[in-house]
Structure 1
């Protein structure tokens, strides 16, 4: 997937996307950088990319920190390559609160994959910001899809809301649990175990791993991990040890079997529609938040004062801010207190 590069002027979006579709790695990186930006150029480029997506099988892998996801992703990517398929990897990393840059630990652990032209690895920073991470990560997935990578693996660093949003935009969700971490109950509370299409118990060379496998299988039998995603699909529990290369073949077989189920049942189209709905709503949230912060800062500050003084509650303040933005209600130009009833009528 390496093509000759020239020192010519920066290509237009159409030309850049054509280069991406031809597999030129530098163009793939350039388009990803555009996708991660919040400017108009990035949005325009991604709008063009969307027309060339829909072929990759997107697999999301999540689980609590320390469950061995990165080692597993590396081993899984090697198995995918051995099967003759190309693979893109999006590693959603923690970031420095000062620089906002992605930690390169995942790339360092995957150095043996970096020289393979059939593998592309991209690390994403959380940047410590509210919102935006899911959008940027999934835009990068779209770039890999458009570039022709047959399987895209998304690895998230933890089980926070951003990470859950990202993996739920995958066709197949793999939730990794490790024996002895003591975090499985917290994962259940967060609803993370429920979204798994495939359960993995990592580090199966540990003595307590069989207990974790048995617990998950018992919960599946009792229906406590049932989810609307699983129509007609029996969620498997796969025991693995990425360090010893045990269970990775079984994991890839389970992932491929799930894709076959999605295709044969017609669920793939329904799931894709749900993914698009989530992405549209996430994008709308980002757009509304950005506009409110940029254009209605003074109104927000006054509403913050009112809320802090217990004059109104946060929900009523939010409704008031939306009315101001829509031009339904005029803000007090003199900066006086905005007094609203606690149960304002919904904005329609």
Structure 2
């Protein structure tokens, strides 16, 4: 099994593989770890020629599955799907994940991991500002972000929230979703210039450009550093950030993403795990995926990794760890960014990121959104009257 899990969470995956091997003496899985860039270079050719690993996580991007399906490189998993002990219980996957990994009515991947975004906040900064609890509504979030921004206009010494717009887990789509906006509609046509999207993005871009609640142009690492260095009171981030923030000495709070007019929503993140089509061990590979996504394995993975389980039916099992519980409770309403879209990476890098960077700096939202919509529709092939 080839993966790109080179980070501090690698031992968690190795722990799961070892437990599978220990409990399945007739099947042995060897996990090889290489940087994502290397995986992306090696895997397409090796799988296309039938010379690759039996199992692999092709990319940290869920949309990567499309290229492997197009080249007929991966095995559909439907014959192994079901609720039995040795079957892949895809009905327990978060709905957005199951939908993203289903193409042409066939399931091609299981989630190698699962994460949602939550609101990190600095309890000491909140107390100093006279705020006793984290925000639970979008209106509260806006009010708190303003109140927690301290310093001269344009150059705060403390920011209310740390937002990233590039090289990051996406934060801005969550701000759109809160109010019912989106990037694409169900017909793969642009929704970034819908009334709901424009309204939400006008509110948040003005909060950044005029109220200076966050710096502009931050990469994900910059946003993390700002919060970790106690120069921002809040950040929207995933479970991987908790340990670093705690080690930075922050009196850390973690809460659900505040709820806007469209109801509870947050961003989901997952990595696809797939089987090579020409593997000599299809039954064994499916057995591993069934076990890996089982209640027992996912509960174990959550305990050792701090990530929520990749199932929606294990919420109570995470109650002992308040941090994990926050992320797990968000699974039923978590959405993947540009899910099921074969040109997702192009929409993100070529259109959405530049669009957000423009409006953060004061560009008119409606005009910029209309331009972005035209580019998105060209990429997706949407034809609108």
Fold match by TM threshold 0.5: no
Greater relative CO (CA pairs within 8 A, separation 6+): 2
Larger Rg: 1
TM-score normalised to structure 1 length: 0.25
More helix by share: 1
TM-score normalised to structure 2 length: 0.24
